[in-house]
Amino acid sequence: MSKTTAAPATIAFAGLGAMGLGMAESCLRAGHRVLGTDLNRTALDRLIAAGGRELTPDSAGEAGIFVSVVLNAAQTQEVLYGESGFARHLPPGAVIVSSATIAPEQARDNAARAADMNLLYLDAPISGGAARAATGELSIMASGAQEAFDAAAPALAAMARSVHDLGRDAGAGSAMKAVNQLLAGVHIAAMGEALALGISQGLDPERILQVISASAGTSWMFENRAPRVVEGDYEARSAIDIWPKDLGIVTDIAQGAALSTPVAEAALTRFREASRQGLGALDDAAITRLYAAEAGLSLPGKR
């Protein structure tokens, strides 16, 4: 999918992983100049091969848009405001688009620091997975000043199919992402639990997939992940190790609000256990393997 804009912008990316590289390439396809940096040199080489350049303290001065799409809050903090952080090298009025899943409070802190440095900040977590990042069809849950939305518009248009505007205050985007991750993480764990239950009763996994997908028990995650169990394919598109982090943020936020989240906690405990057992780098559909192993059940092998 190719998107074009009238005025090419210079867009910097910190983080060229499964999501970041696809987002950067979507910006290149839309005709923008793209800078990038990643701890993994191979990822940077791929960006350069696609027509991008390396993001350095010097070249950061050209970037009107800075997209941070690193792993977590600590990395976001580091890449923006740490000793080798880029915020101080950005031109005045540039916009930081922060896309890692972080707590709303951290998004508000980051936005306040950006304002102190005469920078704009968009709290802009992403949803949709690596495939949609690559095609520029992400869903973005964004909040921030109108000026931040306006300044980020060329990048948002290139990267996203839908941008949900959640208001003028940083934090709302991250809050909505937490709501989404609570549901998504619980639904994946429940999928594993339900498939294992059905298999323990002699049901065929493929038949479970067919019937449940057409029933009230279905979810976006069930329909997306259960086919991987049926195929026996656990190559990570979204790894188990995402969930201790993201559901940890969910339960932290909830605790701060005196809200009990026992269902999310049960799912979190399952993902932590799967990670502890060495399944962390597998696709999150492999949570089903944790259940199956405990009950001595056989899952379909790779076809």
Give the bridge partners for 283, in sequence order.
239
Backbone angles phi, psi at 121, to 5 degrees: -140, 130
Contact indicator for 261, 254 with CB cutoff of 8 Å? yes
Stretch that binds its own copies, among 6-14, 38-46, 60-68, 202-210 (CB under 8 A): 202-210
Structure tokens at 297: 């059940």
177 is a catalytic site residue: yes
Q: 215, exposed or middle or buried, with CB in 10 Å at 0-12, 13-18, 19+?
A: exposed
Among 145, 153, 157, 194, binds its own copies (CB under 8 A): 194
Stretch that binds its own copies, among 7-15, 56-64, 76-84, 194-202 (CB under 8 A): 194-202
Q: Which helix (H) or strand (E) holds 279?
A: none
Task: Quote the radius of gyration of the chain (alpha carbons, Å).
Answer: 20
Contact indicator for 13, 25 with CB cutoff of 8 Å? no
The single-letter code of the amino acid at 121 is Y
Among 56, 200, 252, 277, binds its own copies (CB under 8 A): 200
Residue with tokens 């190559």, as numbered in its chain: 235
Which of positions 84-113 make contact with its own copies (CB under 8 A)? Answer: 104
- Site membership for its own copies, residue 184 (CB under 8 A): yes
Q: Smallest distance from the beta carbon of 212 to its own copies, in angstroms?
A: 6
Residue with tokens 């306040």, as numbered in its chain: 112
DSSP string, 232-253: T----SSBTTHHHHHHHHHHHH
- Site membership for its own copies, residue 257 (CB under 8 A): yes
Which of positions 208-227 make contact with its own copies (CB under 8 A)? Answer: 208, 210-212, 214-222, 224
Contact indicator for 61, 38 with CB cutoff of 8 Å? no
Q: Smallest distance from the beta carbon of 81 to its own copies, in angstroms?
A: 23
Q: Smallest distance from the beta carbon of 139 to its own copies, in angstroms?
A: 6
Q: Please, what is the angle between helix 18-29 and helix 146-159, to 10°?
A: 90
Stretch that binds its own copies, among 39-47, 91-99, 278-286, 292-300 (CB under 8 A): 292-300
- Site membership for its own copies, residue 195 (CB under 8 A): yes
Q: Smallest distance from the beta carbon of 294 to its own copies, in angstroms?
A: 6
Closer to its own copies at the Cβ: 148 or 189? 189
The single-letter code of the amino acid at 14 is A
Among 264, 279, 285, 299, binds its own copies (CB under 8 A): 264
- Site membership for its own copies, residue 236 (CB under 8 A): no
Q: Smallest distance from the beta carbon of 162 to its own copies, in angstroms?
A: 7
237 CB neighbour count, 10 Å cutoff: 16
Q: Smallest distance from the beta carbon of 256 to its own copies, in angstroms?
A: 9
- Site membership for its own copies, residue 250 (CB under 8 A): yes
Q: How many residues bind its own copies (CB under 8 A)?
A: 71
Q: Quote the DSSP letter at residue 50.
A: T
- Site membership for its own copies, residue 296 (CB under 8 A): yes
Please list the active-site residues: 177
